[in-house]
Amino acid sequence: MAIMNVNPTRMELSRLKERLEIAARGHKLLKDKRDEMVRQYMVLIRKNKDIREKVEAELEVALENFLMARAVMPPQILEEAVMYPTQEVELDIDKKNIMNVHVPLIKSRQISREGISPYPYSFATTSAELDTAISTFSEILPNMLELAEIEKTCQMLADEIEKTRRRVNALEYVMIPQLEETIRYITMKLDENDRSSRTRLMKVKEMLEARDIQRT
């Protein structure tokens, strides 16, 4: 590990020790953040799997019924039946904070017109399969919105986990070892300078003592 290009002084040594302490503390906090995000990510992944399987199963049933209705109904009647919906959906999109990651929060509300059937067509000209398909599509919409929210949350958490992992590795394998190596180098350099200074002082003392002896 290459040492940093700094002057080997006591002031620089003190500054580097402070940086090392801050880096070590930051490394621990980032590791804790990464571990907690991974834990929450795994919880969301399992929840995402359950909701996706449920939505896909319900969609399969709804599409099968819709295809059956399409097979037995004239195209123009089917198109007319689904042209004017009697229900509306309001979406409220907000954000929530997960480990300092702002992920989407989707809330939905179905609005039905008072006194109007949820089926925007006459039962006399349509098939029962179309009723089942429309009912199923209406029921699975909240689950589909929740699935979209969870999948986007998982994506954003995965990106943040990767960024945090890179920061942790940079601190653990680059910055902290470099600081430690530089501190060792400066410490050895200062110790060497201290020994040289003591040696010079002892030599000067010996010379002064020898001169005093000669004078006497």
Query: The domain spanning residue 137 has which CATH number?
Result: 1.10.287.3240
pLDDT tens per residue, range 128-142: 888 888 888 888 888
pLDDT tens per residue, range 86-124: 777 888 889 999 888 999 998 888 777 665 666 666 666
In this prediction the pTM is 0.75
Whether 205 is in a domain gets the answer no
Domain that holds residue 111: 25-163
Q: Which is nearest to 106 in space by CA: 138, 146, 141, 140?
A: 146
Whether 38 is in a domain gets the answer yes
Altogether, the residues listed in the chain come to a count of 216
Whether 20 is in a domain gets the answer no
CB-based contact 55:140 (threshold 8 Å): yes
The total domain count for the chain is: 1
Whether 123 is in a domain gets the answer yes
Whether 98 is in a domain gets the answer yes
Residue 115 phi, psi dihedral angles, 5° rounding:
80, 5
| Ramachandran region, residue 99 (left: φ > 0; alpha: ψ -120 to 50; beta: rest) | left
Whether 174 is in a domain gets the answer no
